[in-house]
A and B are shown apart, each in its own frame.
Chain A
Amino acid sequence: MKVLVPVKRVIDYNVKVRVKADQTGVELANVKMSMNPFDEISVEAALRMKEAGQASEVVAVSLGVQQCQETIRTALAMGADRGIHVLHDGELEPLAVAKMLKAIVDKEEPGLVILGKQAIDDDCNQTGQMLAALLGWAQGTFISRLEVGDGELKATREVDGGLETVALKTPAIVTTDLRLNEPRYASLPNIMKAKKKPIDQMSPADLGVDPAPRLETLKVVEPDKREAGVIVADVTELVDKLRNEAKVI
């Protein structure tokens, strides 16, 4: 079975994100970018399937600016077989991404699409679910365990109450959570070999999708500064403050 893994280029998780002075968005100039950490987990999951003989090919897809090719190269260096890059310079919302992924899925016919549960930049947590709806496929979201059977997957989901295991008929969509695996480091020889693996480039128009945003961002602001806490002497004082100052009990 072929496995498709969408990978998003986001601000590196170590970077302290700063809002632009004009409040139109966050500062991206000279900021280190890397693969969305959840997507690394997805790539790792796909590679483990391939190594276990459960996947025949791992295809990494990224949508966005030219530099998304670097993100695809990271996936290729980790071990993915080839890449697809949909070049688009403007903003991309989850629905546009899901529509373009659907067009790619229609063409590539993978048995499984593994997405991160969300991207750490906008934290939308929508693309996987939208893609499942557009395709009419089964979905298992926030998975911490994946068992691959014949024509069926068992996906363990991290839900509020604990763990829920669902059986999915393939083809299917899963979205990965943090505890699914620990992604590997691309080895240095594989980083060098990744240069020789193919990346197909296309445009949203090639996929018949209009990527224009449906939402308008009014402004982006820094979260309020957290104020210093107070240390209370004992439980009585705590209860008193909760009741009379915070008025929450």
Chain B
Amino acid sequence: MALDQETLNQLLETVRRYVDERLIPLEEEVARNDAIPDEVSAEMRELGLYGLSIPEEYGGLGLTLEEECLTMFELGRTSPVFRSLIGTNVGIGSQGIVIDGTEEQKQRYLPELASGELVGSFCLTEPDAGSDAVSVRTSAKRDGNGYVLNGTKRFITNSIKAGVLTVMARTDPDNKGSGGVSSFLVDAKSDGITVGPPYQKMGQQGSHVADIFFEDVKVPADAIIGGVEGQGFKTAMKVLERGRVHLSSVCVGLSERLILEAVSYASERKQFGEPIAGFQLIQAMLADSRTESYAARCMTLDAARKYDAGEKVPMEAACCKYYASEMVGRVADRAVQIHGGAGYVSDYPVERFYRDVRLFRIYEGTSQIQQLVIAKNMLRQYAATQ
């Protein structure tokens, strides 16, 4: 259900205010302590942020993807770790259930995911299956009425807090392709699951990523998303299609913040007797950042609207993710440049953002993988016309 303009405005205004008044002042502390205070996660639950994308009948807000992106433009204006906290519940950790889950699975998991009582994680990547996600080796062997899972999942966001895991595992050992993979909903407390220590990362301190080890983990047969074997990779790709548009909007939001930091610093900082914002070489950097950020915003909204209209947008989603993540990298780089030495030290937030945004070009499909997806779709479309 699409919201009326007034309600949407009020929703966005509330998130904007929360970001300005609460989250931006906390950014530095969160990075320093590598932790988001519990009271902030409680507030974010209270606000309803965990349930943005979950349908209303399961306790969420049921926003369209366009509305979700508009919300992320706002939440994106602060440290991306706040987004990451709710990100798996809004995106990759819940959407498998929303898109392909059975009614029982929806009723069982979605209300608690929407309220944030339960945290969901998405477990696709493995030590030997990164970009080549089709090659997942985690095995799910039939065992009586259920399955037994064995394998390792790498770099799983929010795994330390997670209550339910969406795990892509191979149910058909003879099928090495995508058709041999199924998605399982696994209780993170199940016997045989251990979560490794959080990795030390380049940026995004306050958000945690760790490996998950599955050792003879028993799951019931009805844990397969949608109840049918062999659909798991398809589910994962559908989740990522939506997730890529979502991530693009986070990149846009952060680029807008970086631009604001750059413009305000350039207007204050004086050299050669005038604010550096008066120099055309600085203005060129500002203008390039603004232009690219605006382009990414437009692309993201366009892809989101198409998605909401029921179109399949794997190519558009890849275009957005590719462009927006590379864009925010360039914008962060220019913001550091405009700050000069002050941009290299941690007294200004651009130094932190510069490290934070590096991740966007890597996860949920690297830039190279997006290029491959875009080209594959282009060639397929062309072939279809021949």
Contact = CB atoms under 8 A, between A and B. Distances in A.
B49 A188 contact: yes
Interface string A181-220: 0000111111110110000000000000000000000000
Contacts of B14: 77, 185-186, 188, 191
Contacts of A74: 10
* A contacts with B: majority SS: helix
A115 to B, nearest CB: 23
B64 to A, nearest CB: 13
Nearest to B15: A188
Interface string A69-104: 010011001000000000000000000000000000
B74 to A, nearest CB: 12
Contact of A188 (B4, B6, B17, B48): B48
Contacts of B369: none
B265 interface: no
Nearest to A184: B46
Contacts of B52: 188
A74 B17 CA distance: 13
B344 interface: no
A187 B48 contact: yes
Given A187-B46, A192-B61, A77 B17 contact: no
Contacts of B18: 185
Nearest to A70: B6
A79 to B, nearest CB: 12
Contact of A189 (B6, B43, B61): B61
A195 B7 contact: yes
B17 A185 contact: yes
Interface string B70-100: 0000000000000000000000000000000
Contacts of A192: 3, 7, 11, 61
Contacts of A73: 6-7, 10
A192 to B, nearest CB: 6
12 contacts: A73-B7, A73-B10, A74-B10, A188-B14, A188-B48, A191-B7, A191-B11, A191-B14, A192-B3, A192-B61, A195-B4, A195-B7
